[in-house]
Amino acid sequence: MNIDMIRAAAQRLKGHARVTPLLNSPFIDEIAGRRVWIKPECLQHTGSFKFRGGWSALSALDPEVRARGVIGYSSGNHAQGVAHAATLHGVPSVIVMPSDAPTLKIANTKALGAEVVLYDRAGEDRDAIGARIAEERGLTLIRPYDEPQVIAGQGTTGLEIAEQAAAHGVREADVLVCCGGGGLTSGIALALEADAPGLRARPVEPEGFNDVARSLRSGQIERNSRTSGNICDAIISPQPGDITFPIIHRLCGPGLVVSEDDALRAMAQAFLRLKLVAEPGGAVALAAAMCRQDQIEGEDVIVTISGGNVDPDIFARSLQTLS
C-alpha cells in the first residue's frame, strides 16, 4: 500500500468520480473558532466516498476477471458504491445484505444494478454465503476497507484535499476524517504524507464506538464491544483493519470522539450554512470541528463529510436542533 497506488487510482478515476469542491462558511468558522474547510464527499456519486474505492477496485481488475463480476458485503454506502461502479463498467455485481437492512438501501442497491442476496443476520453466516456464491460464479470479492485498491481509491480524496488546501493557502492543519474501518482515513493519510506534509489526518468516531482512537492510544488493534445502536451506523465497524491500522498508527494524530447529538447539530449546520445533506456518520468530523475546539491545533481545520445517505426522519431530527 503506497502513494503510487493512490496516484494510479486517481488516473483511473479521472472523468468517472467527481472532484468534490472544498467549501467554507463564515458562520461555521464563527462556531468553530477557526477557519473550517469542508470536503463534501456526500456530493460524490452514490452519495458517499465509497464510489471512489469501488471504482478503483473494479478498474484495477484484469478485464477477464472483472467481466465475471464482483461481490461485496454491505448494508450501506459500500454496497451502492460497488454496485454503481460495476454497472458503469458493464459487469454484474452481487451484494450480500442483511434481510433487516433498510428497505430504501436495498431498493437503491438494486436500482444501481446489483443483484441483492439477503441473509438472516441471526441464523446465517454471511461470509459462508458470499464465499459460496463467489466460487460458483467466479466473482471477485471487494472488501469495504481492508483492500489495497479500495484504500487507493479513497486516498484520491486526500490528493484533492492537498491540492485544494494549497490553493487556499492552507499549509498546516488537522484534517478530520469520519472513520469506520479506516479505508478513507488511511488513504487520505498516505496522500497527505506525500503531497501536503503539513496536513495531518485524524480519525473521528462516535462515542462508544471509538475502536480507532483507542487503538491509536494503545498501539494495537482494539475492538468495539458492540457494532450497532448508534445513528452513525455508516461508520461503525468491529475494529480497524489489518492493512489500514498500521498506516493510521504511523501517520495520524490522536482520534476524536463526538456524541450523536453533536452529529445531529453538525448535520443541521451543514443544512443551514453549506446547503449539504450529511448523514450522521458523515457529520462527525464537522461535529468535532464545532465541539472539540480545544483538541484541534492551528488556525485552519479541514473536515470531510463522508456521506449523505440519511433517512428523511433522521434528517428531520437534525433540523429540530435548530429550533
Whole-number minimum distance, CB 249 to a copy of itself, in Å?
32
Any idea what DSSP says for residue 234? G
Interface with a copy of itself in residues 220-279 (CB under 8 A): 268, 271-278
| Pick from 124, 104, 172: nearest CA to 312 | 104
d(Cα 103, Cα 98) in Å, to the nearest integer? 11
Number of residues that bind a copy of itself (CB under 8 A): 33
d(Cα 323, Cα 321) in Å, to the nearest integer? 6
Chain Cα centroid distance, residue 171: 24
27 scored as a contact of a copy of itself (CB under 8 A):
yes
| Among 204-212, 247-255, 295-303, 313-321, the segment contacting a copy of itself (CB under 8 A) | 313-321
> Contacting a copy of itself (CB under 8 A), which of 12, 47, 241, 258?
47
Question: Which is closer to a copy of itself, CB of 12 or CB of 84?
Answer: 84
14 scored as a contact of a copy of itself (CB under 8 A):
no
d(Cα 132, Cα 174) in Å, to the nearest integer? 44
- From residue 64 to residue 103, the character string flagging contacts with a copy of itself as x (rule: CB under 8 A) and all else as - is --------------------x-------------------
Question: Which is closer to a copy of itself, CB of 19 or CB of 251?
Answer: 19
Interface with a copy of itself in residues 158-177 (CB under 8 A): none
d(Cα 72, Cα 84) in Å, to the nearest integer? 12
Question: Which is closer to a copy of itself, CB of 137 or CB of 275?
Answer: 275
d(Cα 310, Cα 268) in Å, to the nearest integer? 13
Whole-number minimum distance, CB 95 to a copy of itself, in Å?
16
Asked if 213 and 256 count as a contact pair (C-beta separation under 8 A), the reply is: yes
Spatial strand order in the sheet of 173-178: 35-40, 300-305, 173-178, 199-206, 256-258
> Contacting a copy of itself (CB under 8 A), which of 8, 43, 131, 166?
43
Biggest distance spanned by C-alpha atoms of the chain: 57
Question: Which is closer to a copy of itself, CB of 89 or CB of 214?
Answer: 89
Torsion on CA atoms 140, 146, 147, 151, rounded to nearest 10: 140
| Residues binding a copy of itself (CB under 8 A) | 18-21, 23, 26-27, 30, 40, 42-43, 47, 84, 108, 111-112, 268, 271-278, 308, 312, 315-316, 319-320, 322-323
